[in-house]
Amino acid sequence: MSRDRYESPFCTRYASAEMQYLFSPDKKFKTWRKLWIALAKAEHELGLPVTAEQVAELEAHAEDINYDVAEQREKEVRHDVMSHVYAYGVQCPQAKGIIHLGATSCYVGDNTDIIIMREGLELLRKKLINVIAHLAKFAEAHKGRPCLAYTHLQPAQLTTVGKRATLWINELLMDLEDVEHRIDGLALLGSKGTTGTQASFLALFDGDHEKVKKLEQLIAASLGFDKVVPVSGQTYSRKVDSRVVSALAGIAESASKFSYDMRLLQNFKEMEEPFEKHQIGSSAMAYKRNPMRSERITALSRYLLANSLNPGFTAATQWFERTLDDSANKRIAVAEAFLAADAILNIYINVADGLVVYPKVIRQRVMKELPFMATENIMMRAVKKGGDRQQLHERIRQHSLAAAKRVKEDGLDNDLIDRIVADPAFMLDKAEIENVLTPERFTGRSVAQVEEFLGEIVNPILEQNRGLLDAVPELTV
């Protein structure tokens, strides 16, 4: 860690080393060399004056980049791509004349961006699946545990702890679908030339259109892609970046919703995020256990949501075949979107894997509200004993208002049940009413919904991706 200059917190505190490497200079420049090798191989195969020996020389120096030469050259020429072409040529004297043959800077720059985004999306996909797996296990374990459900943050009816977890999972499945769609849809820029017309390559191949098209196919195949963009200017459309980052913003939306729920539940003392043995919750209040990880998810999600506007603005403001006002914004916004999404999922995995539940508190809170929720069931039982439904409804309304006043204004216990037992209009004793007040009777199809959702939708996805279920991120803070 440097102490005398700014460093991104994503690198020092939040994002994984794996994601950081994807957006590192080393990854970028090694990918440039892969692209130059792919170009030379394809040109050799299609009959241009590129020899097998030249290709072999390029391959021999694919990894050992002479950064000192490239950096010194860039100081002189102020052009990163040409500096690395020069440095590569120093190492490959036989091949230096054919490096970058027919290409423009965006051949290496844009194709590299697509390759890195695809690898980044695949890493995020793995982490999404691991979060889903932890939450699925949690949902199964707590599918039958009744808890208060809320509308407007006011107690409404009952749900179960596991059913609530399925809501979190369901949104993550939408994110997974979006991420997979973006992975499947990514195409290389290919070899399009200065304004996207492929004029330089058409000249190299003496007007042979089929060879120009074959060149792109060979390059794409060598980099593991089955397609290139059909048309472009000098760059691939910046809407690609916008669409990818929008998928990452979707992860932020889902994670933020989860983190808000967790922060509220921790306030209710119903659930908590993991708390380390020696963790300090507050510098002033030693007893506190703050939901700091969930709060961090909220904070990073807010950043990612705001940052996701950048690629859209960049796409909207490009001029004709390209302008360079995309570059400085793009290299920050896209990279940091991936680092933020990675950091969010690292924390989400950690929290989801160690969720703490306090059943007695949950039950206590349910029982304080259940008498109000059970009034219709109580009324129906009294009607079966011969009571008048309309009269009983009015009596319950009066008793409910009186009990609510006692709770809210006097700070006393809810005595609604005692009031109903004491009212001869209901003809019910306390045992009969307490039999009605069984929380499990008020959760509707919650248990069945959890079982159906996990069995029919979630578990098949997890089974298909069993080989990815091993992500255990190490949190720095």
Give ∠ CA 120-63-227 in degrees, rounded to 5: 45
State the distance between the two ends of the chain, measured CA to CA, in whole angstroms: 15
Q: Which contacts of 223-229 are long-range, i.e. CB under 8 A and separated by 24 or more positions?
A: 223/34, 223/35, 223/38, 223/111, 223/115, 223/188, 225/114, 225/186, 225/187, 225/188, 227/187, 227/188, 228/187, 228/188, 228/189, 228/190, 229/187, 229/188, 229/189, 229/190, 229/192
Q: For residues 421 and 433, is the Cβ–Cβ distance under 8 A?
A: yes
Q: For residues 293 and 347, is the Cβ–Cβ distance under 8 A?
A: yes
Active site includes 84?
Answer: no
Annotated active-site residue in 181, 209, 282, 327: 282
DSSP state of 475: P
Residue type, 373: M
**CA-CA distance, 261 to 442, in Å (whole number)?**
22
Burial of 466 (0-12, 13-18, 19+ CB in 10 A): exposed
Active site includes 152?
Answer: yes
Buried b (16+ CB within 10 A) or exposed e, 205-236: beeeeebbbebbebbbeebebeebbeebbbbb
Q: Can you tell me whether residue 375 is helix, strand or coil?
A: helix
Q: Provide the CB-side half-sphere exposure for 320 (13 A, CA).
A: 3
* Positive/negative CA dihedral, 110, 53, 70, 20: positive
* Cβ within 8 Å of residue 81, ≥6 positions away: 32, 100, 105, 108, 109
Tokens of 413: 């216990």
- Cβ-based neighbour number of residue 60 at 10 Å: 12
Annotated active-site residue in 2, 152, 278, 283: 152
Distances (CA, A) of 180 to 123, 147, 183: 11, 34, 5
Catalytic residues: 152, 282
